[in-house]
Amino acid sequence: MLRTEYFYLFVIQGPSFLKEKLKLKECPLNIKVVDDIKPYKRRKVGILNGAHTAMVPVAYLAGLNTVGESMADQDIVEFVGNMLDNEIIPMLSMDKNELTEFRNSVMQRFENPYIKHYLLSISLNSLTKFTTRLLPQLISYANEKNQAPKNLSFSLASIILLLSRKKKQ
């Protein structure tokens, strides 16, 4: 039996005439030609990579071992969903419906029972990942709302706790 991930997206930065030149209307593929690729990168890094980065220390410290187990835990699902909806997506500069659609596809992707993605594997370089993937949204949120984002702050504290535990072992 063969299983694959259904999610894919190919974004090309370039002039709009490329759509015609590449005959993209004839291809039923998820390919976009855009003026600026940066919002798509920020979306991917903030939502997909950011959700992983934020979820891992919280789920692992809660006694879970894989992304699949984490997505079966209602508290973890709620934590990730609230973080994405209230702290990440509002800080990204793209169409909110498109961001929400991407968020939903990411959550569905995390639920894939055929992928056994270990939290400890994802936790490698956690602090660096947090700095590049989530710190920009944490800072933007704090500046805009004049308070720290609850879920991102909790995730950062969990990373620090997880790293201090790893060191003691």
Instruction: Looking at the structure, tell me whether residues 91 and 119 fall in a common domain.
Output: yes
Residue 23, burial from CB neighbour count under 10 angstroms (0-12, 13-18, 19+):
exposed
Which residue's entry shows tokens 């500046």?
143
Do 45 and 24 share a structural domain? no
Tokens coding 127: 């602090």
Q: What is the pLDDT of residue 113?
A: 81
- What is the pairing mode between strands 10-13 and 31-34? parallel
Can you give the pLDDT at residue 167? 56
- Partners of 31 in beta bridges: 10
> pTM, whole model, 2 decimals?
0.86
Q: Do 29 and 110 share a domain, yes or no? A: no
Q: For position 90, which CATH number holds?
A: 1.10.1040.10
Looking at the fold, whether 155 and 131 belong to one and the same domain comes out as: yes
Q: What is the model's pLDDT at position 59?
A: 98
Please check whether residues 78 and 23 belong to one and the same domain. Answer: no
pLDDT in tens, the chain (169 residues): 555 556 677 888 999 888 888 888 888 788 888 899 999 999 999 999 999 999 999 999 999 999 999 999 999 999 999 999 999 999 999 999 999 999 999 999 999 888 889 999 999 999 999 999 999 999 999 999 999 999 999 999 999 999 988 655 5
Domain shared by 65 and 6, yes or no = no
CA-nearest of 54, 49, 65, 57 to 163 is 57
Residues 47 and 14 in one domain: no
For residue 166, give every residue at least 6 positions away whose Cβ sits within 8 Å of its Cβ, in sequence order, or none: none
Q: What is the pLDDT of residue 39?
A: 93
Q: Residue 160 belongs to what domain range?
A: 38-168
Phi, psi of 4 (to 5 degrees): -135, 165
Using CA atoms of 51, 153, 74, 68 in order, give the dihedral in degrees to the nearest 10.
40
pLDDT at 9: 79
Question: Domain check: are 10 and 46 in the same one?
Answer: no
The count of structural domains within the chain is 2
25 and 90 co-located in one domain: no
Does 17 share its domain with 54?
no
Residue 158 near residue 57, CB atoms below 8 Å: yes
Tally the C-alpha atoms within 13 A of residue 71's C-alpha that lie toward its C-beta.
18
Pair (92, 110) in one structural domain: yes
Do 31 and 50 belong to one domain? no
pLDDT at 3 (0 to 100): 53
Q: What pLDDT does 85 receive? A: 98
